[in-house]
Amino acid sequence: MPKYLILKHYQGGPEAPGFAPMSEWTPAEMEAHFQYQRDTIKMLQDAGEFVSADAAAPTGNWVQYGGEGKPPHVLDGPFPETKELIAGWFLIDVESEQRAHEVAAYVSKAPGKGGEPIYEWLEVRPMMSEPPPVE
């Protein structure tokens, strides 16, 4: 049974027509959006498909080996040329890729301004499994 990572990006995908940024949402619209995320997790748990879900802070540090005997290089925030940022993810274990796509479409339907679906683009990546003994 394959695992899939459903990635939410802060930016990177094409914007849906009529998209309104979160800064223009009312508190009630925002609460409905957050509730939808919790309901999604509950839906996945009830289906026996949930592995984990998490969100990442929008910014962090970039870290690199600093060379023999030296501390690591640490840079603030993303590089200017970085086009995308991971906002969070759902890790699911499902019967098929088709089902993973259904789940992603469900996540994409989360309500935004005026309670309308935000049509968010999500990246669906299969996770590596074990090589089967019988090839």
Partner 1 sequence: MAPALDEDLLREASRQVLGALVRRAADFAAAEDAVQEALLEATLKWPESGVPAEPVAWLTTVARRKLVDVQRSDASRRQREANAALEPEPGPTERSDDTLLLLFLCCHPALSPTLAVPLTLRAVGGLTTREIAEAYLLPEATIAQRISRAKKTIGQQDLSAFRAALAAGEPDKPVVLRVLYLIFNEGYTTGDRIDLAAEAIRLTRLLYAASPDPEVAGLLSLMLLHHARRFARFDNGNLVPLDEQDRTRWDRALIAEGVGVLQAALAEGRHGEYQVQAAIAALHDDARSADETDWTQILAWYDELVALTNNPLAELSRAVAVGEVDGPLAGLRALDGVEERLTDYHRLYAVRAHLHERAGNTNAASDLFAKAAASATSTAERNHLLRRAAQARAATTER
Contact of 8 with 85, CB cutoff 8 Å: no
- Helix (H) or strand (E) holding 76, with range, is strand 73-76
Of the ranges 8-16, 26-34, 35-43, 124-132, which one interacts with partner 1 (CB under 8 A)?
A: 124-132
Q: Residue 25 CA to chain centroid, in angstroms?
A: 20
Site for partner 1 contains 28 (CB under 8 A): no
Q: Which of 21, 46, 65, 68 binds partner 1 (CB under 8 A)?
A: 46
Site for partner 1 contains 49 (CB under 8 A): yes
Of the ranges 60-68, 69-77, 88-96, 114-122, which one interacts with partner 1 (CB under 8 A)?
A: 88-96
Tokens 């695992």 belong to: 3
CA atoms within a 13 Å half-sphere pointing along the CA-CB vector of 29 = 15
For the CB of residue 4, give the shortest distance to partner 1 in the complex, in Å. Answer: 12
Burial class (CB in 10 A: 0-12, 13-18, 19+), 94: buried
For the CB of residue 55, give the shortest distance to partner 1 in the complex, in Å. Answer: 18
Contact positions vs partner 1 (CB under 8 A) = 1-2, 45-52, 93-95, 126, 128-135
